[in-house]
Structure 1
Amino acid sequence: MDPFDEARVKNRYSRLLNKLKKTSKFTFRELETLALLYSQMKDGASFDRGKFKVFVHNSLDMTDSSMNDRIYENLDRDEANWISINAFIRGMGIYLRGSQQEQADFCFSTYDIFKAKKLTRGTMYNLLRLCITRAPSDEDADEGAKDLVELLFKFCDQDNDGSINLAEFRKGVSKEPLLMETLGQCLPDRYARDTFSTALAETPPSFY
């Protein structure tokens, strides 16, 4: 991106970034860098599903296409069929600087396909079935998914109502953080997160 385009993007988003810096986990310079990255990915159009999936695949090493679809839908809360710069920065804040609870909440809302504010056995089975790809047969994969669902319910379903709500999910994650992504990868791994954070801190950044 040439200096003229950088100045134009910074000017366009300056008011929003000054507002976001009051609550964001990023410095103002980091916010400017994210705005420049967002603008570059938009490429004069909208930051739509396809561009988002390319970004998380290439920049954050998140390669599960089906789960990336669900993450996109989680961030596109207005169902506008594109991700706003606010949603992009919020998502990157969760990815790079989020607390355990913020990340657990993000994973839960991504898994909650039907926005029911709870995870049922059926929902969890369908998600797990997509994760189990190395089973010798479909029957083995089905049985493996069912067994994992029962283990998760024994661990998390404290009121035995046949579903796991957000509070139960948070409590389970606080006891065993690995539960956060049992149903699929919603967050970048540590290496990808650290690599992106290092690039974000560089002057000039190495994204563009």
Structure 2
Amino acid sequence: MNRIDCSMDDMANTKFLTAYGSLIKQFCTSTDFNYNEVLGLMVVYYKFVKFNGPTAKKMTKKQFYELFLVLFRICDMSIIDRVLLCITNDVRFVIPEAWMQLFSVFLSKDTKLRSQFAYNVYTYSGTTKLNREAVCLAVEKFFEGDDDDEVNELRADMVEFVFNKFDLDKDGIISYSEYAEVVQNQPPLIEFLGQIFPDDNDLTLVALCTNIESKFRSDD
């Protein structure tokens, strides 16, 4: 039989297709990835699952955290927690649907899709908008030191900067529409409250590992 992946023997190939064949077809219609791209992403998912033992069927939450910490080099645990909660309600596992949702956003060049996801991550604490209290809590991690007065002043200055930049109607709340408008004009501000997306080099590595040719970074 044709090998899907050279590191998998015939038995592993058969198990993979049996377990994920119908899902692969589903993801080909529900995502922007083509068949080979879906296949590549699901092979990586399958290898995570295989690591958990012969009877395992899902990627673990621990593996998801390791993916962010080691491959993506995103170490803000509160951000990782919120990303996870935005793609699944399962407290123990990451199912294939959640896996594909994650990379549908991470590998997308659609600013609207990425900004909506980022805003959802920032507001996942229960509110649908960013008020001053939420922003104050978010900026605490950006400033640390022994001089409490200086640190508090820096935090306060950043909060004021954020609201001056994003609170367009000056009502004390940063709505999604305000955030999206700013990001549309200044895309680097999409992650203004902490890194959510892997950088371009790490995304290129993911694209190479999963054979997603359209996402390879060009250096020309």
TM-score range, shorter chain: 0.7 to 0.9
Q: Percent identity among equivalent residues?
A: 19
Task: Name which of 29, 32, 36 aligns with 1:22.
Answer: 29
What TM-score results when the alignment is normalised by the length of structure 1? 0.86
TM-superposed deviation, 1:138: 3.6
Mark the CA change 1:136 to 1:49 in structure 2 (over 3 Å): closer, same or farther. Answer: same
Q: Secondary structure at the match of 1:25?
A: coil
Unaligned runs of 5+ in 1: 203-208
Extract unaligned runs of 5+ from structure 2: 1-6, 213-220
Single out whichever of 40-49 and 171-180 deviates more from structure 2: 40-49
Q: 1:61 aligns with which of 69, 73, 76?
A: 73
Q: Is the 8 A contact 2:40 2:209 kept in 1?
A: no
Q: Secondary structure at the match of 1:115?
A: coil
TM value normalised by structure 2 = 0.82
Q: Distance in 2 between matches of 1:25 and 1:93?
A: 7
TM-aligned CA distance change 1:46 to 1:145, over 3 Å: farther
- d(CA) in 1 for partners of 2:33 and 2:85? 24
Q: Is the 8 A contact 1:10 1:32 kept in 2?
A: no
- 1:167 aligns with 177
SS in structure 2 of the partner of residue 187 of structure 1: coil
CA deviation after TM superposition for structure 1 residue 140, in Å: 2.6
Is the 2:48–2:59 contact (alpha carbons within 8 Å) kept by the matching residues of 1? yes
Distance 1:191 1:11 in 2: 33
CA distance in 2, matches of 1:115, 1:47: 26
Greater radius of gyration (CA):
2
Query: C-alpha displacement at 1:176, in angstroms?
Result: 1.5
Closer/same/farther in 2, CA of residues 80 and 57 from structure 1, 3 Å limit: closer
Q: Distance in 1 between matches of 2:125 and 2:90?
A: 14
Match of 1:2 in 2: 8
Distance (whole Å) between structure 2 residues aligned to residue 139 and residue 113 of structure 1? 30
Q: Post-superposition shift, 1:105?
A: 0.9
Displacement of 1:94 in angstroms is 0.8
> What is the aligned-residue RMSD (CA, Å)?
2.2
Runs of 4+ in 1 over 6 A off after TM superposition: none
Displacement, 1:177?
1.5
Contact 1:119 1:165 survives alignment (8 Å): yes
What is the alpha-carbon distance in structure 1 between the residues aligned to residue 109 and residue 17 of structure 2?
Answer: 25
Corresponding residue of 2:43:
36
Structure-2 separation of matches of 1:45 and 1:122: 41
